[in-house]
Chains A and B, each alone.
Chain A
Amino acid sequence: MTPNKMWIAYMTVMRKELVRIFRIWAQTILPPVVTTSLYFIVFGTFIGSQLAPIHGLSYIQFIVPGLIMMSIITSSYMNTVSNFYFAKFMRNIDEMLVSPMPGWLVIAGFVSGGVMRGLIVGFFVLLVSLFFSHLAIYNLAILIAAVLMTSVLFSLAGLINGVYAKGFDGISIVPTFVLTPLTYLGGIFYSITQFPEFWQKVSLLNPILYMVNAFRYGFLGVSDVPVWICFSVLIGFTLIFTAIVAFLFKRGMGVKN
């Protein structure tokens, strides 16, 4: 395929994804926006108004970046895991596999779909957050880098889950029992500086902590961890997950015999 044809193929995948995301908006966009709005209302407004400032910020201001990041992480992950699994289950992934699209482009298509949904959901959650808090942007470059890298990372993770999923249970186990606990314990609702030293060290084992803090730094200029460490962790995990996906693709991604 020529680069021009590859670009057309890639844009075709993107268009298909965009149409799908908005066609089933009640499943893809609305739930995270509603859920996050409830967090804003309950934790941010009702409970948060009675809490002391964190890093000199009101509680609602402090949690907004984390909640946006949580919706981006969940949406990116769920998009690729469900999309890839259903394409595998219904065999419509064959439409791509019989075409001359190179394998890496098929993977890029799925990952980009996850990133796109993460960004769309993140944008709507950001809009909702403006009803509860005003947000200043401290460092736009860091904010964009954190969003893009995190959504790529979790799109890759979702793809890996989709490859191994053998049934509908298989696409919900990791999000429910791994992703959600790690996200909730990833410093969205608190600063780890509020913890005793031992629990601070335990918290540092959670990779999502670094993503939330990188994003929060981009918005508010505060972070529990130095930003360069946050990005090092992001880059490290992204490389590892890319290598795993490349390996799985070479083995047929669970869709080739």
Chain B
Amino acid sequence: MLMASAVSVSNLKKTYDTGVEALKGITLQVEEGDFFALLGPNGAGKTTLIGILTGLVYKTGGEAEIFSHDTATDASRAKTYIGLVPQEFNFNIFEKVEDIVVTQAGYYGIPRAQALKDAEPILKDLGLWEKRREPAQKLSGGMKRRLMIARALIHKPKLLILDEPTAGVDVELRRHMWTFLRKMNAEGTTIILTTHYLEEAEQLCRTVAVINKGEILINEPMQSLLERYGEKKLEDIYINLIEGDSGQTI
């Protein structure tokens, strides 16, 4: 079956005002329904790429499309497809859990009554239902992470972008989040995951791209990558790639 591209990026460039060249003309595609790992060291350009896809960063060259809608010229339409879970907590900690989620739905034009209904199963799935009337500041770190996921899912996005969603999360919760994300993906949501836990990417993702210094080093199915490198784990392959690119030994 021919699948459409959820994300299509062509010769994408970003140079910040400081002169830092974060993306040097990268090209990649994420197929609809894929579970896609976007890996790379800190400062590689992952968050810049996500920023351009979600409208938080202006590109300086190239093209980026979400489900065939250009992120620059048809941004409003492109954004309707995306749910973003950023790296840092960025909700208002004084607001109640339910309000944070329902308000986000409102920004997408979903009426409040509908959003309250939609929020219930999401908050229950993520174990936040009992805390829905609590201000976000009273949540534990893991709960705050889950709240960010709930907020990103409230408008039923076709593409979920997770920027290091399990950073600082304990093993049990991380496994719980894996199960949840697998379920989302099985239900048809395309997922892009950035993570520094390579085991996580290996367990969850079907396609992997490694980015370093603003360039894509590899972009291929996880299975074929692992087979090509024989018995090695993703972590070993990743370290070889980054070392090779940097010309140094880690």
A-side residues, CB < 8 A to B, are: 1-2, 4-6, 8-9, 11-13, 15-16, 19, 23, 90-92, 94-102, 252, 256-257
Q: Which residues does chain A contribute within 8 Å of B54, judged by CB atoms?
A: 97-98
A11, A12, A96, A256: the one within 8 Å of B57 (CB): A256
Instruction: Tell me, in angstroms, the Cα distance from A6 to B109 when the chains sit together.
Output: 6
Closest A residue to B108 by beta carbon equals A99
Q: Which residues does chain A contribute within 8 Å of B111, judged by CB atoms?
A: 8
Q: Which residues does chain A contribute within 8 Å of B108, judged by CB atoms?
A: 5, 9, 99-100
How near does chain B come to A25, taking the closest CB pair, in angstroms?
Answer: 13
How near does chain A come to B219, taking the closest CB pair, in angstroms?
Answer: 24
The interface size bin for chain B is 20 to 34
How near does chain B come to A106, taking the closest CB pair, in angstroms?
Answer: 9
Q: A-facing mask of B70-104, CB < 8 A → 1, else 0?
A: 00000111011010101010111010000100011
Question: Is A9 touching B90 in the complex (CB atoms < 8 A)?
Answer: no
Closest B residue to A94 by beta carbon equals B90
Closest A residue to B16 by beta carbon equals A257
Q: Which residues does chain B contribute within 8 Å of A99, judged by CB atoms?
A: 79, 104, 107-108
Closest B residue to A86 by beta carbon equals B92
A12, A13, A95, A102: the one within 8 Å of B91 (CB): A95
Q: Which residues does chain A contribute within 8 Å of B112, judged by CB atoms?
A: 12, 15
Instruction: Tell me, in angstroms, the Cα distance from A8 to B104 when the chains sit together.
Output: 11
Question: Is B88 touching A102 in the complex (CB atoms < 8 A)?
Answer: no
B2 in the interface, Cβ–Cβ < 8 Å?
A: no
Instruction: Tell me, in angstroms, the Cα distance from A12 to B155 when the chains sit together.
Output: 14
Instruction: Tell me, in angstroms, the Cα distance from A90 to B193 when the chains sit together.
Output: 23
Instruction: Tell me, in angstroms, the Cα distance from A13 to B105 when the chains sit together.
Output: 11
Instruction: Tell me, in angstroms, the Cα distance from A92 to B100 when the chains sit together.
Output: 10
Question: Is B90 touching A12 in the complex (CB atoms < 8 A)?
Answer: no
Question: Is B58 touching A90 in the complex (CB atoms < 8 A)?
Answer: no
- A9-B107 in contact given A92-B90, A100-B76 (Cβ < 8 Å): yes
Question: Is A100 touching B106 in the complex (CB atoms < 8 A)?
Answer: no
B56 in the interface, Cβ–Cβ < 8 Å?
A: yes
Closest B residue to A251 by beta carbon equals B58
B51 in the interface, Cβ–Cβ < 8 Å?
A: yes
By Cβ-Cβ distance, the 5 closest A-B pairs, closest first, are A5-B109, A12-B106, A99-B107, A91-B90, A100-B76
Q: A-facing mask of B206-235, CB < 8 A → 1, else 0?
A: 000000000000000000000000000000
Question: Is A1 touching B76 in the complex (CB atoms < 8 A)?
Answer: yes
Instruction: Tell me, in angstroms, the Cα distance from A91 to B148 when the chains sit together.
Output: 13
- A98-B109 in contact given A16-B103, A92-B90, A92-B92 (Cβ < 8 Å): no
Instruction: Tell me, in angstroms, the Cα distance from A9 to B108 when the chains sit together.
Output: 6
Q: Which residues does chain B contribute within 8 Å of A8, judged by CB atoms?
A: 106, 109-111
How near does chain A come to B168, taking the closest CB pair, in angstroms?
Answer: 17
Closest B residue to A19 by beta carbon equals B99
B55 in the interface, Cβ–Cβ < 8 Å?
A: yes
**Best-buried of A8, A92, A99 by chain B (most CB within 10 Å):** A99
Closest B residue to A99 by beta carbon equals B107
Q: Which residues does chain A contribute within 8 Å of B76, judged by CB atoms?
A: 1, 100-102
Q: Which residues does chain A contribute within 8 Å of B80, judged by CB atoms?
A: 100
**Best-buried of A8, A15, A92, A100 by chain B (most CB within 10 Å):** A100
Question: Is A256 touching B109 in the complex (CB atoms < 8 A)?
Answer: no
How near does chain B come to A57, taking the closest CB pair, in angstroms?
Answer: 44
